[in-house]
Amino acid sequence: MSADIAHDLKAKTEAQTWRARVVLALGPVTSFAGIIWAIVQPWRLTLLHPHGQGLYWLIAEPQLYVVLVGILFRVVLAPGIVADLEEHG
C-alpha cells in the first residue's frame, strides 16, 4: 500500500481556495439554520402535535425543507461548483 493517496488528498485539501470552502460550507450552514429554526420555533412543527392534521401538513414542514435543501446542495451542487471554481480560478 502506498502513501501517495494520502499525499494527494492532503495536497487537494490544501489547494482549495477560500471560495471553494465557502461554497462547501453553504450546505451545512443552511441545514444547521433549519435545525436552529426548529428549536427556536417548535410550535411550527406539526409533527409534534399532529391532532387533526392531514398528511400534507405533516410532510410540509418548512424547517425540514431547509435542512433537506442544505443537504442536497452540499451533496449534489457544491462539488460541481467547486470543480468549476478550481478550473477557472
Q: How far apart are CA 84 and CA 89, in angstroms?
A: 8
pLDDT value at position 86? 87
> Which pLDDT band holds residue 16 (cuts at 50, 70, 90)?
confident
Whole-angstrom Cα Rg for the chain = 19
Q: How far apart are CA 70 and CA 29, in angstroms?
A: 7
Assigned C-alpha cell, 7: 499525499
- pLDDT tens string 24-73: 999 999 999 999 998 998 877 766 666 777 777 777 788 889 999 999 99
What is the value of pTM for the model shown?
0.72
> Phi and psi (nearest 5°) for 9?
-65, -40
